[in-house]
């Protein structure tokens, strides 16, 4: 698979990975090895970032669209994410409420469909 796809599956930003990772296709076996026994560079990337948007959104408890509405388009580090969680800007509180409401509605629909089946 392409390095970009492998980076997404590993939850890391492709640009932050070593050149050797970006230079060649990644086999499924190699991907599995990286997941089972991550090398130090992967452990460090997952710990401190920079993180891709889906990871940033998950850590903040918002959607990727919420990040876009807040005009956060650049990858963030763990320290930057922690600073936002500590500061609790208005946009973050609003987006967390919106995200929670959407998730609750999705759960309600899923329960309804399960009971109808």
- What CA–CA distances, in Å, run from 45 to 49, 54, 94, 112? 5, 14, 29, 40
Mean pLDDT of 18-45: 94
Q: What pLDDT does 60 receive? A: 97
Q: What pLDDT does 26 receive? A: 93
Per-residue pLDDT tens digits for 52-99:
999 999 999 999 999 999 999 999 999 999 999 999 999 999 999 999
Q: What pLDDT does 117 receive? A: 74
How much is the pTM? 0.84
Two tokens at 14? 């492709």
Two tokens at 32? 């599995």
Task: Single out the residue of 1, 50, 48, 46 nearest to residue 21, CA to CA.
Answer: 1
Give the whole-angstrom CA distance, residue 77 versus residue 36: 24
Q: What pLDDT does 7 receive? A: 95
């Amino acid at each position: 698979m392409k390095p970009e796809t492998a980076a997404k599956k590993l939850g890391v930003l492709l640009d932050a990975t070593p050149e050797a990772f970006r230079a060649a296709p990644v086999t499924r076996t190699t991907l599995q090895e990286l997941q089972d026994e991550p090398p130090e560079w992967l452990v460090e990337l997952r710990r401190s970032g920079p993180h891709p948007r889906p990871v940033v959104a998950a850590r903040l408890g918002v959607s990727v669209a919420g990040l876009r509405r807040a005009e956060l388009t650049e990858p963030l580090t763990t320290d930057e994410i922690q600073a936002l969680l500590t500061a609790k800007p208005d946009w973050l509180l609003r987006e967390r409420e919106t995200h929670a409401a959407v998730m609750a509605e999705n759960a309600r629909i899923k329960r309804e469909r399960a009971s109808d089946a």
